[in-house]
Amino acid sequence: MPAETVNPGVSDGNDLDLKRLESGLDALETPTQHKFSVKKYLFSLLSPLIAIGAVIAIWQVIIWLQWQPDYIIPSPSQVWAALGQQAENQILWQSTFNSIRRAAQGFLIALVIATPIGVALGLNKTLRSIFGPLLTGLQQLPSVAWVPAAIIWFGLSDATIYTVVLLGAVPSIAIGLMNGIDQIPSIILRAGQVLGAKGFTRVRAIVLPAAWPGYLAGLEQGWAFSWRSLMAAELIAVSPALGPGLGQMLDNGRSLGDMALVLGSIFMILFVGVLIERLIFAPLRRRTLMSRGLLR
C-alpha cells in the first residue's frame, strides 16, 4: 500500500463538499434499475404450454375427422393410456430416469474433457490452426455415425453409449468455449495482465468467467447433442444388459407395432429435452445476461 499521508492542504470542509457533490452526480448518472418480476418469470416458464395445447387441439380435431385409422394416428387419449400403462409397471420411470442419468453423466464427462481443449484452442493460435478444423468436422458429423463403430469396439455395453454421447457433446462444448474466448474484449485481457494474472490463475480468474456467455451457449448445445446422441445410441444398441431407456422404449413400441407407445416415447424424449432447457439452461442464461447488464 502507498503511504497513508494526510495532506494538510486539503481541509475537511473541501473534501466533504466534493464528496456531497460527487454523490449527487453519481445519483443523477446511475442508470435506473429494472426489478425482477415474478409474473414475467412465470409467464416465460409456462408460455410454451400454449403451443403444446394448440398442437394437442389440432391433433384431436384430426382424430375426430377420422382421416386415418388409429394404428397410424392414435388419439391423444390412446397415447396417454399407453404411457400410463408403461408407468404402471414402472418401465416409464425407469426408462426416463436411466436416460437422463446416462445423458447427464455423459455430459459431465464431456464437460471435463472439452473445457481444457476449448481453453487451449481458444488461447493458442497454433494449436487452433492444427486442431480447429478437426473439431469443427467432428461437430458437423452426426454422432449416430459412430454407433456401428462403437458397437464393434465395445459390444452392446455402456461404453458404446458413452462413446457416442461424448463424440456428440465434446466438440460442441469445446467450440462454444473457444468462441467465448474469441469474444473477450482485448481490454479485459490487458487489464488481467496488468493485475498480474498468469497461467492457471489467469484461466480461472479472467479467461473462463470472461468467456462464460459463449461457454454457456456451448454447454447448452453440448447438452442437446448429448441427449440426441444418447437417443440414437439407445435406439440402435438395444440389449437387456443395458437396462431400460427411452430409446429402448421407443424401439420396443416399433417392434410391437404399437403406434401409441411410439408417439408416447417421442413425446417423453421431447419433454425431457424441454424440461432441462427450461429448468437449467434458461435460468442460467438469464442470470448471466442480467448480471452483465446485457438484458433489459
Is residue 182 involved in binding other proteins (CB under 8 A)? no
Identify which of residues 49 and 194 has a Cβ nearer to other proteins in the complex: 194
Is residue 194 involved in binding other proteins (CB under 8 A)? yes
Identify which of residues 134 and 188 has a Cβ nearer to other proteins in the complex: 188
Is residue 127 involved in binding other proteins (CB under 8 A)? no
The C-alpha atoms of residue 72 and residue 179 are separated, in whole angstroms, by 45
Identify which of residues 101 and 204 has a Cβ nearer to other proteins in the complex: 204
Tally of CB atoms within 10 A around 245: 28
Residue keyed to cell 495532506: 7
The C-alpha atoms of residue 220 and residue 277 are separated, in whole angstroms, by 8
Residue numbers 201-230 binding other proteins by CB under 8 A: 201, 205-206, 209-210, 212
199: left (phi over 0), alpha (psi -120 to 50) or beta: left
The C-alpha atoms of residue 175 and residue 136 are separated, in whole angstroms, by 8
Identify which of residues 31 and 240 has a Cβ nearer to other proteins in the complex: 31
Figure out which of the listed residues 196, 199, 240, 257 binds other proteins, where binding follows CB under 8 A: 196
DSSP classification of residue 231: H
Residue keyed to cell 461404453: 159
Minimum distance, C-beta of residue 189 to other proteins, in the bound complex (Å): 9
Minimum distance, C-beta of residue 288 to other proteins, in the bound complex (Å): 8
> Which of 109, 176, 177, 167 is CA-nearest to residue 138?
167
DSSP classification of residue 31: P
Identify which of residues 33 and 89 has a Cβ nearer to other proteins in the complex: 33
Figure out which of the listed residues 57, 130, 188, 274 binds other proteins, where binding follows CB under 8 A: 188
Question: Largest alpha-carbon pair distance within the chain?
Answer: 95
How far separated are the first and last CA of the chain, in Å rounded? 39
Q: Residue 73: exposed, middle, or buried by beta-carbon count in 10 A (0-12, 13-18, 19+)?
A: middle
Tally the residues of the chain: 296
Is residue 12 involved in binding other proteins (CB under 8 A)? no
Stretches 112-120, 198-206, 223-231, 245-253: which one binds other proteins (CB under 8 A)?
A: 198-206
The C-alpha atoms of residue 259 and residue 264 are separated, in whole angstroms, by 8
Stretches 4-12, 41-49, 243-251, 254-262: which one binds other proteins (CB under 8 A)?
A: 4-12
Is residue 187 involved in binding other proteins (CB under 8 A)? yes
Residue numbers 32-61 binding other proteins by CB under 8 A: 33
Stretches 113-121, 143-151, 186-194, 249-257: which one binds other proteins (CB under 8 A)?
A: 186-194
Is residue 19 involved in binding other proteins (CB under 8 A)? yes
CA distances from 272 to 89, 105, 139, 228 (A): 20, 15, 23, 11
Count of residues touching other proteins (by CB under 8 A): 40
**Count of alpha carbons within 13 angstroms of residue 291, beta-carbon side:** 10
Stretches 29-37, 94-102, 124-132, 225-233: which one binds other proteins (CB under 8 A)?
A: 29-37
Which residues bind to other proteins, rule: CB under 8 A? 1-10, 15, 18-19, 21-23, 25-26, 29-31, 33, 187-188, 190-191, 193-197, 201, 205-206, 209-210, 212, 291-293
